[in-house]
Amino acid sequence: MINQTLNPKLFDEDIEQAPSRNGFGEGLVIAGEENPNIVGLCADLTESTRMEAFKNKFPERFIEVGVAEQNMVTVASGMAHEGKIPFTSSYATFSPGRNWEQIRTTICYNNVPVKIIGSHSGISVGADGATHQALEDIAMMRALPNMVVIVPADSIEAKKATIAIAKNGLPSYLRLSRDKVPVITTENSPFEIGKAEVLWNGSPSASSGQLPSATIIACGQMVYMALMVAKQLEEDKISVRVINCHTIKPMDTKTILASAEETGAIVTAEEHQVNGGLGSAVAEIVSQSYPVPIKIIGIEDTFGESGAPSELLKKFGLTQENIKKAVLEVLRRKKHV
């Protein structure tokens, strides 16, 4: 059964599409209106990261630091020490890619509420190529003590996440996309940091009233693909559960373990290296408490390359077809456990 708070046009060909960075821009203005202590800092990418709307509305609360990512987060840390809530934005390959040590030492070690916005993440950056395609950032950031890591599924969820991290009082990383992705949630869809959402929970017609036989856990634009796969599998009389795991850290251990126990097989999907990302986080939890067959869909230990986003997703195995094959694989393994 599908979550009723999702976009009613979810399976339509003309579903609205937007980059998740658009939602960040909208959410930052809302957060700025609510709290005068919120400030913005950008590394010469104000328009690209969608921080421009905040800059235009609150020019006295915005700092353009130039191409100096290490300086940007260090300045932000100092501002946080003085009671401000800084949001810093750049491409994810530069922040946290270039300034990870400064984030570690000046922000996380001191546990100050700086918000790191990493835009243009993943291979769907496209023609910018391997140097600009951040594929390791989730792993880098979730390893840091005190850091919250969020990967929104779409622009609406990115807006909600922006508003939420403005209030959480913690170092936080928000991972955003450059390319347009389907808007699958609505303003009524729930969002809570650390709470994964079940978006699809099988179908009586496919499962004969029983629990789903596998779980697909996804983040970012892969959530939409997971839902499309669930619909396809239902037509084949295979029932699955789909979970939007937007918060990679802290992860919703309760929901993940419940699905492991109830469905007995898991596929994870992310636009990130298979090492250290969502799949690794899920495997760490499940392997220690309720081991089940798992298949991780992601970038297989390689760098990206230039190309159209759709071409790259296909080349690197991040498609609906790949997710579907992975589900069938874990179901076969499940029978032999």
Percentage of the chain with pLDDT > 70? 97
Q: What is the pLDDT of residues 155-209, one digit of tens each?
A: 999 999 999 999 999 999 999 999 999 999 999 999 999 999 999 998 654 445 5
Q: What is the pLDDT of residues 3-30, one digit of tens each?
A: 999 999 999 999 999 999 999 999 999 9
The first and second tokens of residue 234, run together, are 């239902």
- 64, pLDDT greater than 70: yes
The pLDDT value recorded for residue 124 is 87
Percentage of the chain with pLDDT > 90? 94
Q: What is the pLDDT of residues 33-48, one digit of tens each?
A: 999 999 999 999 999 9
Domains defined along the chain, listed by start? 18-182 (3.40.50.970), 197-336 (3.40.50.920)
Spatial contact of 128 and 122, defined as CB atoms under 8 Å apart:
no
- Which residues on adjacent β-strands are paired with residue 174? 117, 150
Q: Is 26 annotated in the active site?
A: no
Whose tokens are 């690197």? That residue is 316
Q: Which of 52, 64, 69, 329 is catalytic?
A: 69
> Which segments within the chain are labelled E, that is strand?
17-18, 38-42, 62-64, 85-91, 115-119, 148-150, 172-175, 181-182, 197-201, 214-218, 240-244, 247-249, 266-273, 294-299
- Which residues on adjacent β-strands are paired with residue 86? 39
Whole-model pTM?
Answer: 0.96
Calpha distance 33→36 (Å, rounded): 7
The first and second tokens of residue 28, run together, are 């930052």
Angle, alpha carbons 30-34-37 (nearest 5°): 110
